[in-house]
Amino acid sequence: MYDVKSKKATEFIDDGEIQATLQYAIEHKADFPLIDQILEKAATYKGLSHREAMVLLECEDPAYIEKIFQLAMEIKQRNYGNRIVMFAPLYLSNYCVNGCRYCPYHAKNKHIARRQLSQEEIVQEVLALQDMGHKRLALETGEDPVRCPIDYVLESIKTIYSIKHKNGAIRRVNVNIAATTVENYRKLKEAGIGTYILFQETYNKEAYEYLHPTGPKSDYAYHTEAMDRAMEGGIDDVGCGVLFGLNLYKYDFVGLLIHAEHLEAVYNCGPHTISVPRICPADDIDPAEYSNAISDEIFEKIVAVLRVAVPYTGMIISTRESQRSREKVLRLGVSQISGASRTSVGGYAEGAPEEDSSQFEVSDNRTLDEVVNWLLELGYIPSFCTACYREGRTGDRFMSLVKTGQIANCCQPNALMTLKEYLEDYASPDTKAKGEAMIQQTIPLIPNEKVRRLTLEHLKAMEQEGVRDFRF
CA–CA distance, 85 with 82 (Å, rounded to integer): 10
Do the beta carbons of residue 184 and residue 233 sit within 8 Å?
Answer: yes
Using the contact rule CB under 6 A, the part of the chain among 9-17, 281-289, 316-324, 381-389 near ligand SF4 is: 381-389
Q: How far is the CB of 431 from ligand SF4 (least distance, A)?
A: 20
The three-state secondary structure class of 196 is strand
Contact residue for ligand SF4 among 174, 273, 325, 414 (CB under 6 A)? 414
Q: Is 211 in the site for ligand SF4 (CB under 6 A)?
A: no
Do the beta carbons of residue 24 and residue 55 sit within 8 Å?
Answer: yes
CB-nearer residue toward ligand SF4: 22 or 402: 402
CB-nearer residue toward ligand SF4: 57 or 407: 407
Query: Per DSSP, which regions of 117-163 are E strands?
Result: 136-141
Contact residue for ligand SF4 among 309, 407, 427, 439 (CB under 6 A)? 407
Which of positions 77-116 make contact with ligand SF4 (CB under 6 A)?
Answer: 85, 96, 98, 100, 103, 105-106
> Residue 382 phi/psi, 5° resolution?
-65, 130
Using the contact rule CB under 6 A, the part of the chain among 13-21, 342-350, 380-388, 436-444 near ligand SF4 is: 380-388
CB-nearer residue toward ligand SF4: 96 or 256: 96
CB-nearer residue toward ligand SF4: 30 or 113: 113
CB-nearer residue toward ligand SF4: 37 or 214: 214
Q: How far is the CB of 277 from ligand SF4 (least distance, A)?
A: 11
Do the beta carbons of residue 369 and residue 428 sit within 8 Å?
Answer: yes
CA–CA distance, 54 with 18 (Å, rounded to integer): 10
Q: Is 313 in the site for ligand SF4 (CB under 6 A)?
A: no
Q: Is 385 in the site for ligand SF4 (CB under 6 A)?
A: yes
CB-nearer residue toward ligand SF4: 93 or 373: 93
Residues 6+ apart with CB under 8 A from 315: 273, 274, 275, 276, 303, 306, 307, 333, 334, 335, 336
Element (H, E) at 20: helix 15-28
The three-state secondary structure class of 274 is strand
Which of positions 171-210 make contact with ligand SF4 (CB under 6 A)?
Answer: 178
Cα three-residue angle 125-418-197, rounded to 5 degrees: 55
Q: How many residues bind ligand SF4 (CB under 6 A)?
A: 20
Query: String of b and e for 352-384 (b: at least 16 CB within 10 Å)?
Result: beeebbbbbbbbbeeebbbbbbbbbeeebbbbb
Q: How far is the CB of 218 from ligand SF4 (least distance, A)?
A: 10
Q: What string marks each residue from 118 to 147 as x (binds ligand SF4 by CB under 6 A) or -?
A: ------------------------xx----
Q: Is 387 in the site for ligand SF4 (CB under 6 A)?
A: yes
CA–CA distance, 301 with 237 (Å, rounded to integer): 26
Q: Is 329 in the site for ligand SF4 (CB under 6 A)?
A: no
The site for ligand SF4 (CB under 6 A) is made up of 85, 96, 98, 100, 103, 105-106, 142-143, 178, 217, 383, 385-388, 407, 410-411, 414
